[in-house]
């Protein structure tokens, strides 16, 4: 059985099986789920297990995104940009559904499936910026608060979907059956797919500081120095691309504030503080299948925002699933403090630092952004950094995604970002990240 809808002037097919997938509960994703197949190079059984795990997770997540978009007001989802994203998800799910009907049992099928995954990842590479422009055009029909709620959920859900897909792609190219061709298995011994089990936050900070510093010097003619203290040799397991994005955004703000406040001779201080999350306040609330700080609402799996338009809700109660491993309460992590002397954040602005700035554009700023110009709110090279998750910085420039998206990456696996500002003095930002804990496989 299938249902036909006209979305954005196009006819799309909505199959019964897709509706079934959209009604399935989604499980919070942990870093432990992504490393459970073992260290590369993977054996053939491990590689097939990774492919089947990926296939067991993605269809329901794609179906939930489709349902979430369809729950938006019709005039909003009819916008050509939002309609394009809706069509992309429909296409991706319909491409995966034939694979979901059977188990992947051969390397030949695994190779074909991986090619499909690579195409899907590329298809959704600019989802964020396309959605942003769609909502900007549809701003007369949906409130800024509703846009913020929807994007918070959608962007968080997208983090997990991309991560699941990219993890298998990475494991594929570093796996035993393909290693002789790719010659990648020995180049990154600490990596399990996209996760670096020996990630040094200090190294990421130094790398990001150099990039931001060069752009800062290009624009302002000066650059503040960065001092790294605490425990710079500390390492833990996390996703480097996520930390790079977050750190770039935080340093970008610190550099800009410092220079514009005339304090370029004052160093920006970054403190690395290892953190054992065993003592977290929520640790006593233990759930059988989820980590103490990892919730479906934090990972965008609840569809509350779009459900408000239809009065429907998404069931996300965790059910027994042997494929999902719990995140140990003793998982180690890190707290990184970024301290600057940039004058702090004014009280009126502090309340809006987590907003998507394009939702507050006036008509002139919106028209300028839609026509390819700046936002009219101080756009410069510092706002054109490369973003994580496939979206280039230029496509996001002027849309005010930096901090909200950075917080989404931090919170996705149970971390967070906290901002403490002393108006007239400076700002302290505390970034907390949860790692993956011991990577040794606890079961075969």
Q: Where are the domains of the chain?
A: 2-174, 194-277+329-370+380-434
Tokens, residue 8: 């954005």
Residue 439 confidence (pLDDT):
55
Low-confidence ranges of the chain (pLDDT < 50): 1, 3-14, 181-186, 277-292, 315-329, 375-390, 392-397, 441-444
Tokens, residue 397: 């420039």
Gap between the Cα atoms of 54 and 201, Å rounded: 28
Residue 187 confidence (pLDDT):
54
Gap between the Cα atoms of 28 and 50, Å rounded: 18
Q: Could you name the CATH architecture of 194-277+329-370+380-434? A: 2-Layer Sandwich (3.30)
For residue 113, the Cα-to-chain-centroid distance in whole angstroms is 23
The tens digit of pLDDT for each residue in 205-245 reads: 999 999 999 999 998 999 999 999 999 999 999 999 999 99
Q: 0.85 exceeded by the pTM?
A: no
| Assigned fold of 2-174 | Butyryl-CoA Dehydrogenase, subunit A; domain 3 (1.20.140)
CA distances from 67 to 64, 150, 310, 434 (A): 5, 12, 11, 30
Residue 294 confidence (pLDDT):
72
Q: Which residues contact 81 (CB under 8 A, 6 or more apart)?
A: 130, 131, 133, 134, 137
Average pLDDT of the chain, as a whole number? 78
């Amino acid at each position: 059985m299938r249902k036909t809808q006209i979305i954005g002037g196009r006819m799309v097919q909505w199959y019964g099986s897709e509706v079934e997938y959209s009604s399935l509960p989604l499980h919070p994703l942990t870093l432990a789920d992504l490393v459970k197949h073992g260290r590369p190079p993977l054996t053939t059984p491990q590689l097939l297990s990774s492919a089947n795990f990926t296939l067991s997770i993605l269809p329901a997540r794609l179906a939930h995104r489709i349902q979430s978009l369809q729950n938006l007001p019709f005039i909003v989802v009819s916008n050509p940009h939002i309609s394009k994203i809706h069509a992309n998800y429909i296409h991706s799910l319909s491409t995966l559904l034939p694979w979901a009907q059977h188990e992947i049992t051969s390397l030949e099928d695994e190779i074909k499936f991986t090619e499909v995954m690579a195409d899907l990842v590329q298809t959704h590479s600019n989802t964020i910026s396309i959605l942003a422009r769609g909502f900007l055009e549809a701003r007369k029909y949906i409130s800024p608060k509703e846009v913020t709620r929807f994007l918070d959920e959608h962007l968080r859900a997208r983090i997990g979907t991309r991560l699941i897909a990219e993890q298998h792609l990475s494991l594929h190219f570093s796996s035993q059956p393909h290693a002789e061709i790719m010659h990648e298995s020995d180049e990154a011994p600490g990596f399990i797919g996209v996760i670096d089990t020996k990630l040094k936050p200090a190294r990421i900070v130094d790398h990001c500081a150099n990039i931001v510093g060069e752009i800062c010097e290009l624009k302002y003619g000066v650059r503040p120095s960065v001092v790294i203290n605490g425990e710079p040799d500390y390492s833990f397991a996390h996703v480097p691309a996520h930390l790079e994005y977050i750190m770039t955004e935080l340093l970008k703000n610190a550099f800009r504030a410092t220079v514009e406040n005339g304090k370029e001779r004052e160093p920006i201080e970054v403190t690395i503080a290892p953190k054992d999350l065993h003592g977290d306040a929520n640790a006593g609330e233990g759930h059988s299948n989820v980590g103490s700080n990892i919730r479906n609402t934090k990972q965008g799996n609840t569809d509350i925002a779009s459900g408000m338009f239809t009065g429907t809700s998404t069931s996300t109660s965790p059910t027994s699933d042997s494929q999902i491993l719990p995140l140990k309460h003793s998982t180690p992590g890190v707290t990184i403090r970024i301290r600057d002397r940039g004058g702090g954040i004014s009280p009126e602005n502090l309340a809006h630092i987590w907003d998507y700035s394009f939702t507050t554009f006036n008509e002139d700023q919106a028209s300028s952004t839609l026509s390819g110009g700046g936002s009219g709110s101080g756009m410069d090279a510092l706002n054109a950094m490369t973003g994580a998750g496939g979206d280039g910085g230029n496509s996001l420039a002027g849309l005010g995604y930096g901090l909200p998206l950075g917080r989404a990456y931090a919170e996705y696996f149970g971390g967070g970002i906290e901002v403490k500002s002393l108006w007239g003095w400076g700002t302290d930002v505390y970034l907390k990240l949860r790692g993956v804990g011991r990577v040794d496989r606890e079961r075969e």
